[in-house]
């Protein structure tokens, strides 16, 4: 599947604003992959499909999580997390993409996970720093991404956890585990 075909498939599932975000994530992911030695084609594909399920009805996503045996703890946390694992499932089922690395990058782009591989880190970070994002702390993470992927990722995860805590919202355990794993295995 080429870029145009992939973008056409996801465009049908997204609002115009989210489609523009997706294009920004795609461009950012390709740049990060080239900079840090990841497969640019896989980064492109994962970025294009990362929000594929973003606007699916919550009930549909809930049913898929249950039916497909995804971690039930997802249902106890904010439904904003659901589109990542459900998106990986639907990308494989509906778009026929079965590359495990691409699907895992989609699956973990919201929560992260301990032991993230390079492609997962790139998609998580590209989603966070794409040019259309404007919020406190994003420019610092963009600057870090120019020289050190892991430092940028640590700061992005830290910012996300702090944002949720300041709003009094629960933090998905995998996000804490991701932060701890990154800090404890920090490469300078």
Give dist(CA 95, CA 68) in Å, integer: 17
Question: If you average pLDDT over every residue of the chain, what do you get?
Answer: 96
Check: CB of residue 48 under 8 Å from CB of residue 7: yes
At residue 137, the 3 state secondary structure works out as coil
Query: From CA 32, how far away is CA 38, in angstroms rounded?
Result: 8
Is the pLDDT reported for residue 131 higher than 90? yes
Q: Cα separation of 79 and 54, whole Å?
A: 10
Q: For a pLDDT cut of 70, what percent of the chain falls above it?
A: 99
Report, as an integer, the average pLDDT of 113-127.
Answer: 98
Average pLDDT over residues 156-175: 96
How far is CA 61 from each of CA 87, 143, 167, 188, rounded to the nearest angstrom?
9, 35, 25, 39
Query: What pLDDT does 186 receive?
Result: 76
When pLDDT is cut at 50, 70 and 90, the band that residue 62 belongs to is very high
| pLDDT over 70 (residue 74) | yes
Phi/psi for 132 (5° steps) reads -80, -5
47: confidence class by pLDDT, cuts 50, 70, 90: very high
For the chain, the straight-line distance linking the first and the last C-alpha, in angstroms and rounded, comes to: 37
Measured torsion, CA atoms of residues 9, 40, 140, 114, in degrees rounded to the nearest 10? 90
Angle ∠(180,105,59) on CA atoms, nearest 5: 100
108/86 Cα distance (integer angstroms): 11
Residue 188 clears pLDDT 60, i.e. is over it? no
Q: What does the pLDDT average to over 24-30?
A: 98
* The token pair that represents 30 in the structure block: 């390709």
Is the pLDDT at 99 greater than 60, yes or no? yes
User: What Rg value do the Cα atoms of the chain yield, rounded?
Assistant: 15
Report residue 43: phi and psi, to 5°: -65, -45
Whether the pLDDT of residue 140 is over 90: the answer is: yes
- Residue 187 confidence (pLDDT): 66
Mean pLDDT of 155-176: 96
């Amino acid at each position: 599947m080429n870029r145009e075909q992939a973008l056409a498939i996801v465009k049908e599932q997204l609002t115009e604003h989210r489609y523009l975000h997706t294009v920004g994530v795609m461009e950012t992911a390709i740049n990060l992959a080239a900079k840090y030695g990841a497969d640019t084609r896989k980064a492109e594909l994962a970025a294009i499909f990362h929000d594929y399920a973003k606007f699916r009805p919550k009930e549909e996503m809930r049913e898929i999580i249950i039916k497909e045996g995804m971690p039930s703890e997802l249902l106890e946390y904010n439904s904003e997390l659901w589109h990542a694992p459900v998106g990986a499932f639907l990308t494989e089922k509906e778009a026929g993409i079965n590359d495990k690395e691409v699907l895992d990058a989609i699956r973990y782009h919201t929560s992260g996970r301990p032991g993230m591989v390079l492609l997962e880190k790139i998609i998580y970070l590209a989603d966070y720093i794409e040019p259309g994002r404007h919020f406190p702390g994003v420019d610092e993470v963009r600057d870090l991404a120019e020289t050190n992927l892991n430092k940028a990722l640590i700061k992005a995860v830290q910012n996300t956890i702090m944002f949720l805590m300041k709003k009094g919202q629960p933090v998905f355990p995998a996000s804490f585990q991701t932060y701890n794993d990154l800090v404890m295995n920090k490469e300078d």
